[in-house]
Chain A
Amino acid sequence: MQAWIYAKTFRLALMLAFISKVPDRKQVTRLKVAVFSLCLIPLVRLVWLALHDDLSANPVEFVERSTGYWTLFMLLTTLSLSPVRLLTGRTWQLQFRRMLGLFMFFYACLHVTAYLWLDYSFIWPDIIKDIVKHPYVLVGAAAFMLSLPLAVTSSNLMIKLLRERWKKLHRLVYLIAVLGVLHFWWLVKKDIREPLLYALILAFLLLVRVYCKPKAKAASK
Chain B
Amino acid sequence: MIIQTKSDIIPSEITPQEVFDDRRKFLQQAGFGLLAGSAGLLVKPLEAAANAAGDLAQLKSRANSPILKLPAYSKTQYGAGEKLTSFEDVTSYNNYYEFGTAKDEPAINSKLFKPQPWTVSIEGEVKKNKTISIEDIYKLAPLEERIYRMRCVEGWSMVIPWVGFPLAQLIKWAEPNTNAKYVEFISLADRQQMPGVNMPILDWPYVEGLRIDEAMNPLAIMAVGLYGQPLPNQNGAPMRLVVPWKYGFKGAKAIVKIRFTEKMPLTTWMKAGPNEYGFYANVNPQVEHPRWTQSSEKRIGAGLFAGRIKTQMFNGYTEQVGQMYAGMDLRKNF
Contacts and interface: CB of A to CB of B under 8 A. Distances in A.
Interface of A: 1-4, 7, 50, 55-61, 63, 118-121, 123, 126, 129-130, 133-136, 186-187, 189-191, 193-194, 197, 200
Interface in B92-106: 92-93, 97, 101, 103-104
B307 A190 contact: no
A197 B295 contact: no
A191 B89 contact: no
B78 to A, nearest CB: 23
Interface in B33-49: 37, 40-44
B291 A119 contact: no
Contacts of A186: 291
Given A56-B104, A57-B92, A194 B308 contact: no
Interface of B: 37, 40-44, 88-89, 92-93, 97, 101, 103-104, 154, 156, 199, 201-202, 272, 288, 290-293, 295-296, 298, 300-301, 303-305, 307-308
Contacts, number: 83
Given A4-B43, A119-B298, A191-B199, 6 more contacts: A56-B92, A58-B93, A120-B307, A120-B308, A191-B101, A193-B42
B93 A57 contact: yes
A190 B298 contact: no
A43 to B, nearest CB: 15
Contact of B304 (A4, A59, A126, A200): A59
Contact of B300 (A2, A57, A130, A193): A57
B303 A56 contact: no
Interface centre among B44, B199, B304, by most chain A C-beta atoms within 10 angstroms, is B304
A7 B41 CA distance: 7
Closest 3 CB pairs of A and B: A57-B93, A191-B101, A121-B307
Given A1-B43, A126-B295, A136-B291, A57 B89 contact: yes
17 contacts: A4-B42, A4-B43, A56-B93, A56-B104, A57-B103, A57-B300, A58-B103, A58-B298, A63-B304, A121-B308, A126-B308, A129-B295, A133-B290, A134-B290, A190-B101, A193-B37, A197-B42
A125 to B, nearest CB: 10
In terms of DSSP, what is the predominant structure of the interface of chain B?
A: loop
A58 B303 CA distance: 8
A189 B277 CA distance: 11
Given A56-B104, A126-B293, A126-B295, A1 B303 contact: no
Nearest to A188: B101
Nearest to B303: A59
A90 B43 CA distance: 31
Contact of B201 (A59, A118, A190): A190
Contact of A1 (B44, B101, B298): B44
A2 B42 CA distance: 8
A140 B296 CA distance: 21
A108 B63 CA distance: 50
Interface centre among A7, A56, A186, by most chain B C-beta atoms within 10 angstroms, is A56
A133 B295 CA distance: 12
Contact of B97 (A129, A130, A190): A190
B81 to A, nearest CB: 22
A3 B38 CA distance: 12
Nearest to B289: A134
Nearest to A55: B304
